[in-house]
Structure 1
Amino acid sequence: MLAAYILCCPCASYAQKTIVTIPKATILNFWRVVCMGAHAAIEDSDINLIWRGSRVENKPNAQQHLLEYYIDQKVDAIVLAPMDRKKLNSAIEKAVKAGIKVIIIDAPVTTDVIDSYIATDNYKAGSLGADLLAAKLSTPGPVLVVGHSPDNGSCALREQGFIDRMQTLSPGRTIISIHMRDGSERETRLSTEEILKKTPCIAGIFTTNEATSDGVLHTMNTHNGSIPFVAFDYNHKLLKGVRDKKIEALITQRPYAMGFFGVRAAIELLEGKKVSKQMESPVTVISNENIDEAETLRCLRKVPTAEKAKCPICFN
Structure 2
Amino acid sequence: MADKSDVSPLCDHFNAQASTYERRLGGSPRRAISHALDLLPGLSSTRAPILLDNACGPGFATEAFLEAYPDAHVYAADVTPGMISLVDRLVASKGWNDRVKTDVMDGVNLHYPNDMFDASITNFGIFFFSDPDMGAREIFRTLKTGGKAIVTCWKDMTLLPILHAVQAIIKPGSVPIVLRGLDIWAQKETMEMTLKRGGFSFLEMHEQEVMWWNQGIDEAAKGLADNFVNMVGDQWSDEEKNGILGVTEQVLKDQGEKFIVESEGMIGFQMVAWIAVATKIP
Q: TM-score range by the shorter chain?
A: 0.3 to 0.5
User: Which TM-score applies when normalising by structure 1?
Assistant: 0.34
Larger proportion of helix: 2
User: Which TM-score applies when normalising by structure 2?
Assistant: 0.37
Larger proportion of strand: 2
